Amino acid sequence: AQSVTQLDSHVSVSEGTPVLLRCNYSSSYSPSLFWYVQHPNKGLQLLLKYTSAATLVKGINGFEAEFKKSETSFHLTKPSAHMSDAAEYFCVVYTGGFKTIFGAGTRLFVKA
């Protein structure tokens, strides 16, 4: 069975410092993984996706994620946080047949 675990429910950083949002997955085969961001009372915006091509995936707004099969991880990073990055972030694994599994989400707070 496939699953996804976001290791932190909340992360707080200062503006200009690096961001690390952690995601571990469980899959019996090579998964497709996504990161979405959701600002308050908004829909979900795709940040980036991994679909078995390059293991380092670059997304929008300076975010990137690295797929590490040996660690079953797909952590999201950004070198320098901006106030506008404050939002909820979801790690998602595609399970096939139109179905996906969402992680519980990580709320990112950015302090001035």
Partner 1 sequence: DTEVTQTPKHLVMGMTNKKSLKCEQHMGHRAMYWYKQKAKKPPELMFVYSYEKLSINESVPSRFSPECPNSSLLNLHLHALQPEDSALYLCASSQGLAGQNTDTQYFGPGTRLTVL
Is 51 in contact with 99 (CB distance < 8 Å)? no
* Least distance from partner 1 to the Cβ atom of residue 74, Å: 14
Residue 17 tokens read as 């410092």
State yes or no: residue 22 binds partner 1 (CB under 8 A): no
Rule CB under 8 A: choose which of 2, 15, 22, 49 binds partner 1.
49
Q: Is 94 in the site for partner 1 (CB under 8 A)?
A: yes
Closer CB to partner 1, residue 24 or residue 32? 32
